[in-house]
Every structure is written in structure tokens, then in C-alpha cells.
Structure 1
Amino acid sequence: ARTSNGLVGVTSTITVTVQNGTGCSGKVFVETLPLTQIDMQGSARLAVMVAGTLTGIDISNYDFFFVIQTSSPIIGGPSAGAVMTIATIAALEGWQLDNRTMITGMIDPDGSIGPVGGIPEKIEAAYSVGATRFLFPKGQGVMYKTVTETKNIGGIIQIVQKRVPINISEYAMNNFGIEAVEVADINEALLYFTGHTFETQVSNETITTSNYTTSMEPLALHLINDANNSYATAKSLFENTKSDIPNSFPFYYRNQINDMLDNAQTSLEKARDSYEKKLFYSSTSSAFQSLINSRFVQYASNYFNTDDRGNYLDNLFNTVESFVSNQSEKAKDATIRGMTSLQCVGAAQKRAFDAEDYLKNAQQDYQKRDYLNALYKLAFAFERSKSVGWWLNMSSTFEDLGQVNNSVLDDVAHRYLDLAIQANTYSSIILQEMGESSSLLSGVGDLIDDAGNEIEEYPASSLFASLEALAKANLALELVDGAKQDKLDKTRESAATAISESRSLGIEPILAVSYFEFAQTLENGSTTDAIVYYRYAQMIAGALHFMVSPPVQKQSRFEGIPPINPPQHNSFVASLPFDLKWVYAAATLLVVMLIVGAAVIAREKRFKKEFPPEMWMPRSMEEYYRKH
């Protein structure tokens, strides 16, 4: 808690009740004494989601009640997220929690424990209630404290402030006799609280199978040839018309068009290089960008070379609009039969909507007389519409296993849209609370709007828009401390495992494999972008898995709670004769038991007096179930 004297550690009692039965549907209720900030409610929802993911339990069959009591006047901050998740898992599994262990840490959507502030103050608070072990986020083992020193130099008072490093583990042991342990994720923290851990699956399967390669290779080669021909046409046209293109202040149009021609060539070379490395989706992506740039150069060269530019633009708009409309109708009317066509139709519809958006933006630029930008967006809309056909044709190259029920698709699309909305809201609130921001959230709102607009008529397209929004919203929070190598490795492995699990059910996750492959090519350029595409691949494979097979409860392994590492022996005790050491130890143990016993009894009495059992499930919740 923040006071007028600075940060002060405060302990809270969190009671989690899980109810299963008629009327339960994954609802999360939070009741606090005293008030709570909105991020506490978001932490509770995220705790439930992470608990469901880690245990494999379908949380939609349960309702969750969080009752939080603390001496702080207002409960806030995300640092209770980790303990709420642990308590939720323990409630679902029926495990006992070690009441000598305490934890602070934000919960990330992938189960990682994120950074928090005020760790030294929280250790002191943990000591005040008898904790012997304190868990805190990995990477925060050293913190800095500002120390003020006053020096008298020749009668002149000099005040100097400097930052002094504090080793958290040493600080906790030396000052309070508490073992402070860094933990990376919830699974690791569970071991210290319950003695249980969940098996982490590792995929050794090849991601790009021969079936995938056989389907993607011809498309990649076709697009390279198409891009090569388009570039040659654009280059010839530009060379023949560049003298007609203005290139003086303030309109250096010729230079801009020439730059786009160079970009087309660069993208074409990348497409060829990826093809040689058998990264076929990455090759198609680079070829697609080359096609856009070459088409723009052709449009721009023709525009400046014609006598009636207004008429040229009108005809071009009509041509592109007709093509976009025709391709959009094909995508919207496409039939979804199985899991393969679901992915291909969803991808085709998403690209059709992209093309329509670019066409609208081109019309707006035209109204503003920004003709060069209008021409680029027309080129993008045309090439994006061409890609609709690629995806619709691709479904025929894979076996379309797993019948897709419309009601199931509709339910899953709504479920992931709700998750995306919650994730976007939660990440925005927590980042604001932390004084941070993330560029990953910038386009999430538009994706959610698109998903909401499309969900009734085009649930496949809506589903993939929601999955992309969910991936980015979650990562906005997870990457607040930077895109590090361990996060990249973990995200890559999670995506590979999700793809492997989908294949075990007879599903070929084409889209997931495509984005996984694309992420591989981004690792040396942008770690953040690579993580985004790995997570998107994981989300897609997971959604397909969910549609075919409901969640299955995962098996845990009991190892026992690790013993607390004892502090160094007191020199006085070490100097005693062997026989007297036993007497000293017995006497000390008796005193400790009396003190701890008295403290526990007093705390239990006080807790039951201030927080009787009838408060553990809020009265409003009892009334809710009586009415429902």
C-alpha cells in the first residue's frame, strides 16, 4: 500500500470458492472488504482463465467466487494475480496450500509471473504474519534503494543520493529469516505451495510436414513467377514514362515511385530466398508484397502518362471495385465442411474484408486528392482480392477432416470474441496502472470491431480476427518487460506443442503452420513480431483442438513441498558441546511453537470475528443462485 511515508507492505486474505452444477457457466464474482480497484476484478478473471489452461479443466462448467479482505483502505495493483491463480487451481484440484508460503507477482496470460514493485516491503509484511518462504517474480532478485548521505566537508553540508543494490534473497534471510525464492511461472510456484506440478509437454514433431509442403510449394512457385513478370512489366513501364513524372519540390513523385520499384525487387529476392530454404508461406508473403509494389508502379506510371487522368482514375476504380466485389462474393458464399475448409474459408474471408477496407480508404484518399496514396491502396486491394482465390483453392489440396457444426462454430466464435474483449480491457487497465504502454494494443480495437461486425454472417472470419486480437492483447501485457529470448523460446515451444496436439486429433492446422513458419523467418529481425506470430499460431491450433475435442483434465505429479533452506548456524550454537546443542534446539523449538501457536490462534480468532464463514460466499451470490 502507498502511504504518506512511502510504500508499506500489506497482507491480504483471499478466499476462493468454486461451485459446479446447474446454472454454472464460468462466471467470476469478486467481493472485497474494503473497496477494490477494477484491476483486481481483471486479475480474478485472468486467474480463472490461466487455471483452466494449466489444469485442462473446462472452466465453463464452474462459477468462481473471490472474497478478499485486507487492512489496506483500497485494494489495487496487479500483484495479487499469481496467488489468485494458485488458489483457484488448488480449489479446482482439491489441494491443500502451505500457509507458511506467500507470493507476490502479476499473472500473465501464458502463466508467467510478471514483475511487481515493493518487494522488500512485502517481505516485511509476510514476516509479520509468520511466513517462512516468500516467492517473487524471476528476474527481480536485485532491486535498488535510494540512500541519502549527508557529509560535512569543511563546514559545508553536502547531501548525496545514490542507488544501492539490494539482493532480495539475502535481504529476506538476513533481516527476517525468510527464504525468498524467484519463480518464473505458476507451475513452478505450485510446487512450493502444494507439492504438485503439471507435466510440460515438449513437441519433437516436424512442423512443416510433407503434406503441408506439397500443398504450399506450388503456390509459392506460382507467385514468384507472377511477381517476376509483374516486376518486369512495372520496370519497363516506369523506364518509358519516368520523364513524364514530376520530380521537383514539393512533389518528388518520380523518386517515390522508383523507391517502390526497388522495394518490389527486394521483396521478390526475399521470396526466392525463402523458397530455396523451403519456407513456402514466407515466400508467398514476400511475393505478395512484391506484387503490390509492382502493381502500384504500373498504376502510377500509367496515371502520369495519360492525358485524361481523371478518366483514368474513374476507370481504374471501376475495374478494381468490380474485381474486389466478385472475389468477396466468392469468399462469403464459400462452404465450410471440415476443419481444413474452416481455416481456408476464414482466411479467404478475412482477406476479402481487408480488400474492401483498402478500397474504401482509396476512395477517401481520392476525395482528398491524394492520388498517389489512392493508387497504392487500389493496388493493395486488387492483390489482396487475388489472394482470396489462393486460399479457397488450397482447401482442395488437404483432406477436409472433422465435420464443422454451425452451432459449434458460432459458439466458439462468440467465446473467443468475449475473451478478446476481456483481454484488451484487462491489458489496458494493468498497463495504465503500471504507467506503461504497448504498440501491440494499437490495432486490437479494430480487430475486435471487425470480429463483432462479422460474427453473425461470417463466423469463420470473425473467429480468426478474435484470435489475432486475443494474441496481441495478451502479449501487450506479457512483453511489458521486453521481448526476451526465454519468452521467444517458450512461445515457440507452446506453438509447436499446440500444432502437434491438433494433428493428433486428425486436424491439419494449415494456418497455424503457416504463421509458425513465418515467425521463424522473423526471429533474426524482430523478436516481438516473431513472438506475436508464434502466439497467433498457438491460438489457432488451440481453437481447432477445442472445436474437435473438449478440454481434458491434465495429470499432475506430486513431488512434495521443497524443504526450506535453513539459514547459516548461529556461532553461539555452533560453539556449544554436542549434548547442549540438543537441549538448546529443543528449548528453541518449544518457544517457537508456543509463539507461532499463539499467533495462529489469535489470528484465527480475529479473522473469524471480522470475517465469519457466512461472508465467504457473498450473500448476493447466494441470492443469485436462489433466483437462477
Structure 2
Amino acid sequence: MKRFIFIFLVMGLLQCIPVAADSVTVVAPAVQKTPQGFQGVLSYITVVTQEGSGHIYIDTWPLAEVDIQGSARLAVQVACEVVNQDWKTYDFFITVRSDSPIIGGPSAGGAITVAVIAALQGWELRSDVVMSGTINPDETVGPVGGLYEKAQAASEVADLFLVPEGQTTIVVEETEQVQQGPFTYITTTQKEVDLEEEGRTMGLQVKEVYDIRDAVYYFTGKRIEPPQIEAKPIRTDFMKPYAQEKLEQIRKEYESAQSEIDSYTGAYKKDLETLLESAHEEIEYAGDTFDHRNYYTSMSASFVAGLYITYAVNLFSYFEGQPVEDIFEGLDSYLVHLSEEIQNERPYGMTALQCIAAAQKRIIEARDYLQEVEDGSDFDYIEYGSYAQRRGESAEFWLNLSRDYQEGDEIIELMLKNAASSMVNTAELSLVYASSILPQSNLLEEAAATLETAEKAFMEKAYAASLFSAVESKVYAEVSLIFYSSDRSVIAERVDRARERASSCIEESRKRGIEPVLAVSYYELAESRTNSIQSLIYLGYAEEIASIYRYIEAQPDTEIAEGGETQGLGSEIIPVTIGSEEGALFFLGIGVFVGIGVYWVLSRVLRR
């Protein structure tokens, strides 16, 4: 019996010690601040992968800020996409060690991505290669600072230093101390430096890399060829009858409004005519895009034209003496009833889910607009009430469209709730990471606003709207990273890459029998835009939404405890890692403690 207890204890102890699949260490140069200025230092990053459930464990010393955590999380995501692995089937243990406090964790993102890929593939890394560069969601390597100091540190251990594309020519600062009588002046000047030339004087070859696949080649000698994707034309033909009906309706509304305002002789006639001119421009654009078979773009323009018309007509009624309460009589009850109807609509299939998400989001916006008028003036009431009126009509359109696509199995609300919770968490971490390394911008403000919308929708149990709003927030944060780290001359190339990815995801969704109506609609909007940033945003939406079925299918169909983790890259823990001796001792200590406890309990039981 004692032998049985001993064997049981040994087996339990062994189960407490994680077994790593592969361990890879990469050297990443960094900078530290000293009294004499910035100085290059080396950090050592070890990545261990093992079978698991998608958790990311990070251990840093000296302690690092959130940017290294966000960088590591993004590195795992990109690495798994590059080698076509499912991150949910692995746990990742990342250890960062440096002799000195280092500044800026994002510059190690590229090196971490290379290490994760090597660990997943079981490849060895060249010890004479080091790298500095951020990692972007589209696999490209982004710019970093302090490259001159990093090159000096890299020359101590490496023969090849990989830097982001376009950064072999850098600007460095030189300080000079000048003494004039009792006063000491310090002057700072900037000069342009050829990093390749400077590297040669250090015995270091400096080479630019465009994306992570280039970096992997220099570290391993192995090429990971990108998938051959041709962006196929994506048409919204399913939207044609709706777009045609809406365009005809708006043209009639415009003619009616034009007739009313022509008869108006008051002081605000010019203002009303300006609104109708804007409506007319949108109607012309809607007709033109319809003729070019861009039916969703045509629908959007018709809705915008309708907003101008509604605003003008409501103002006209007010100027003619009608109280605002009478103008919007029944609007509140209409929105409440519509909201209940949308909330009660159950999604059967991913296509219906996308439509319901659009309906939920728009009805929330409509109610928010109406709340804006509570403490405002009559003119505020008319402006926001008009918005609410048209947004409600848009919500009703998407609700009716969802009913045309109700087919397949019902998507369980609990899985949808878990997916929304996980995506909100992921979007929040993406925003925190982007905000920690980028200056404030309109893109980050939009990311924050849509994240707030996602959180509000979740509290209202509009889980579809919450999920898709969180996706929008995540896309805004990711596009801000891509835009900030890209030279304007290569933005078009980034758009082409995003187009290929979105097109591929849409085609893959269709192969599974899912018509990704919302993804296709955003794809078309991207194609109709001349602004590259808007195109990147819409293509990012299209890619994420077309692939949303994978995210939902990965969710548990049981309740996630409050404060517990969800299955997503957003769930991140920062304990001791097993990539170090301290980590192994930590888990060993737990095993011994548990073993002693089990031995004591079993001994007591067996003596009875």
C-alpha cells in the first residue's frame, strides 16, 4: 500500500511540472538612460511553447511596462498566423532578461515574433543575428528609435543586425559642452547617419527587413512563403433590390421636400435649401454608385441623403409653427418597440448574426441620439431627433434583412456572450498597447469610443452589437499602429495586402456556406474610398467580420465566472515562467507541497 502511495505521489508531482515543447532564445538590443545619455544594452528573450489553451505568460526582469506585454501578445498572434497554427492549442511562456532597466518594449516585438515562430516550428536561430523592430498586425516590421546605440550593443554579440525597412539612414543627436566664463552651455545638434556605414566600422552588417517573413529567413535560412492570394472582385449583388428601392424612395422624398421648401418665404429659407443641396449631392452619388454596381455604397448614400431631407423637413415644420413634441410624436415609442423586437430576434446562422449585430448597434445609436435632446434646445431636439429617426429606420432595415437570412443552427446566446466578453477584453488590451506607444490621434479616439459602445452594448445584453463594436475598436487600434509605423509611400502597399487578406477571408467564409453580408458591404465601402486610412479600416472590418465564425465557434457554451478568463488573446497572465530556473523551482515547489499534503491525507485515511 505504501508503494502505491509513493507511485501516486510521484505521478502527481510530475504532472505539476510543465513539459515544454520547444525553447528558443533570441537577443534583442535595447537602450537604457544613463547620466551621459542613452546607451545600448542587450536583452535576452526566451520563448517556450507547449500544448495548452491559448494563455500567454510573461516574466520580465527588470520589470517592464504594459508595452512589452502588448507587444508579446501581438507577436504571438502574428506568429501563429504566419505558420498557420491555432494559438488556442498552445500556451506561451516568454521570459525577458536584461542587466539594466530598458526603455521601450515594442521594439522587441519583431524578435519575439521570430522566436515564437521558431519555437512552434522547432527551428534553431542563428546566434550571430539580432533584430530591432516593432511587429504590426499585418506582419510588417515597424520603425523604432535608438538604432545607433542598439547597433553598438549588437556589435558585441552579432555579425548581422536587422532593422526596419527605411531605417538604415537615421538622425542622431550630438551634444557639446561649451564654457563661457562662469557659464556652461550645452548645445545639441542633429546629424544624418548612414547606419550601414557605421555598422561596418563596428564589424556589423546592417540589413533592412520589410516583414517578419524576411526576418525569419535571416535568422533560420528558411523561407516561409506568403499564401498566394489574388484579391477577387467582391460584389454586393444581394443588396441590389434593396438599394434600388431605397434610391427610388429617397428621390420621391426629395421632390416632396423640395416642393414644401420652395413655398417657404421665411428667414431660414437659405439654410433649408443648403440642406437639400447636400441631400441632392448624396442622391447623385447614390445613383452613380448604383450604376457601377456598388449597391451597399449606394444604400449608404441614400440613407445620408434621407437624413438631410428629414432634418430639413423637420426644421421647416418647426418654422411653420409646429411644436417639436408634435414633430417627433411617436418616435420614442417606435424606437422602444423596435429595440424590443431586435433584442428578441435570435440568430440562426452567421449571416443572420451579422445583420442582427448591425440592427442592435443602430438602435442603440438611435436611442442615444434621442437622449441627447433631454436638456437641449428646440434646435438640438430637431437635429438629434432627425438622426434618431433615420437611424431607427436603418436598424429596421437590418432587422428585416436578418430575417431573409435566418437559416442554419441557432447561435447560443451564452456562446455569443462569451465571444463578446473575450473580444471586448482583446480590444481593450489592443487600445492600451497602441496608446502606450503612439501619440494621441483620431484613430485612437475612435478606438476608445467604439470600445465604450461595445461595453455599453454588453451591459444591455446586446451581445452581437458588443462583439462587432469591439471588433471595430480593435481594428482602429491596429490601423493606428500600421499607419504610424508606415512611410506614406508604402501605405498603398499596405492597402493591397489588407485587400488580399479580406478577400481571402470572405471567400473562405463563402466556402463554408456563409454569406458574410456585413463583411462584403465593408469591403465594397473600402473600394469606393480614395482615403487609404479609411480603406484600411473598412478592409480590417471585412477581414475580422468574415472570420468571426471561427471566434464564436471557439467559445465555451458554459458561463464564464466573473473575473475569469475568456478564450482570447486578451487573456494574459504575468507570473513566473518555466523558461527560467526560478520558474522550474516554482512549479517544483508547488508539486512537493501538494505531494506532501496528499501523502498526509492518504496516510490518515488508510490507517482508519
Report the TM-score range of the alignment, normalised by the length of the smaller protein. 0.7 to 0.9
SS at the partner of 2:126?
coil
CA spacing shift, 1:467–1:161, aligned 2, 3 Å = closer
Partners of 1:205 and 1:280 lie apart in 2 by 19
Contact 2:457 2:465 survives alignment (8 Å): yes
CA distance in 1, matches of 2:384, 2:473: 23
1:98: how far off? 1.1
Indicate yes or no: 2:11 matched with 1:8.
Answer: no
Which of 356, 360, 366 pairs up with 2:367?
356
Amino acid at match of 1:170: E
2:144 is the counterpart of 1:116 = yes
Aligned equivalent of 2:548: 543
C-alpha displacement of 1:414: 2.3
Counterpart position of 2:436: 429
- Paired residue for 2:473? 469
> What is the 5 A alignment of 1:226-241?
226-241=249-264
Name 2:426's counterpart in structure 1.
419
Match of 1:615 among 581, 585, 589: 581
Cα gap change, 1:301 to 1:187, in 2 (>3 Å): same
Count of residue correspondences: 532
Distance 1:244 1:166, change over 3 A: closer
Deviations 1:300-346 (A, max 9, x none): 0110111xx5xx21123332212222222221121211111111111
Q: Which amino acid aligns with 2:534?
A: D
Which letter does structure 2 place at the counterpart of 1:304?
F
Q: Equivalents in 2 of 1:103, 1:627: separation in Å?
A: 42
Tell whether the 8 Å contact from 2:95 to 2:580 is kept in structure 1 after alignment. Answer: no
2:164 counterpart letter in structure 1: P
Aligned residue for 1:184?
Answer: 210
The offset of 1:395, in angstroms, is 3.5
Q: CA RMSD for the aligned pairs?
A: 2.9
Secondary structure of 1:98's aligned partner = coil
Offset of residue 207 of structure 1 = 3.9
- 1:278 — aligned with what? 293
Compute the displacement of 1:623 (Å): 6.2
Q: In the alignment, residue 33 of structure 1 is paired with which amino acid?
A: W
Identity among equivalent positions (%) equals 32
Cα distance change on mapping 1:493 and 1:376 into 2, 3 Å: same
Shift of residue 269, structure 1, vs aligned partner: 0.9
Distance in 2 (alpha carbons) for counterparts of 1:232 and 1:620:
77
**2-side partners of 1:244 and 1:383: how far apart?**
26
TM-score between both structures, scaled by the size of structure 2: 0.81
Question: What is the distance in 1 between the residues matched to 2:146 and 2:204?
Answer: 16
Letter in 2 for 1:391: W
Matched, 1:386 2:393: yes
Give the SS at the match of 2:130. Answer: strand
Matched, 1:512 2:519: yes
Q: Secondary structure at the match of 2:476?
A: helix
Structure 1 contact 323–382 (Cα < 8 Å) conserved? no
Residue identity matched to 1:267: E
Structure-1 separation of matches of 2:254 and 2:579: 75
Kept in 2, the 8 Å contact 1:201–1:497? The answer is no
Q: How does 1:129-168 map to 2 (within 5 A)?
A: 129=157, 131-146=158-173, 163-168=190-195
1:255–1:616 distance in 2 versus 1, CA, 3 Å: farther
Cα offset, 1:411, TM superposition: 3.0
Which amino acid in the other structure matches residue 8 of structure 1?
Answer: Q
Listed as ranges, the gaps of 5+ residues in structure 2 are: 1-31, 179-185, 556-576, 596-608
Aligned position for 2:115: 87
> Which residues of structure 1 form unaligned runs of 5+?
152-158, 246-253, 551-610
1:206 aligns with 232
8 Å contact from structure 2 (residues 347, 406) kept in 1? no
Q: In the TM superposition, what whole-angstrom CA distance separates every residue of 1:464-496 from its partner, at most 9, and x where no partner exists? A: 111111101111222114562222222122211
Residue 220 of structure 2 aligns with which residue?
194
* Greater RCO (Cα-Cα under 8 Å, separation 6 or more): 2
CA separation of 1:176 and 1:612: change in aligned 2, threshold 3 A = farther
Amino acid at match of 2:542: A
8 Å contact kept, 1:339–1:403: no
Moved more, 449-458 or 614-623: 614-623
Amino acid in structure 2 at the alignment position of 1:169? E
TM-score by length of 1: 0.79
1:61 aligns with 2:89: yes
Contact 2:234–2:523, Cα closer than 8 Å, also in 1:
no
Alpha carbons of 1:446 and 1:266: their partners in 2 closer, same or farther (altered >3 Å)? same
In structure 2, C-alpha distance between the alignment counterparts of 1:6 and 1:616, rounded to whole Å: 33
Letter in 2 for 1:336: P
Q: Is the 8 A contact 2:348 2:406 kept in 1?
A: no
Q: Cα distance 1:146–1:447, how it changes in 2: closer, same or farther (>3 A)?
A: closer
Change (3 A) 1:491 1:73: same
Deviations 1:413-440 (A, max 9, x none): 2221221111011111122xxxx22211
C-alpha distance in 1 between matches for 2:554 and 2:436? 34
Shift of residue 271 of structure 1?
Answer: 0.5
Kept in 1, the 8 Å contact 2:106–2:133? The answer is yes
Distance in 2, Cα, partners of 1:139 & 1:84: 21
Q: Deviations over 1:212-266 (max 9, x none)?
A: 40x2111111111111112222222222224153xxxxxxxx5443322211111
| 3-state SS of paired residue (2:263) | helix
Write the distance in 2 (CA, Å) between the matches of 1:41 and 1:443. Answer: 23
Moved more, 73-82 or 497-506: 73-82
Give 2:536's aligned residue.
Answer: 531
8 A contact 2:430–2:477 mirrored in 1: yes
**Contact between 1:512 and 1:536, CA under 8 Å: does it hold in 2?**
yes
* 1:532 aligned partner, one-letter code: I
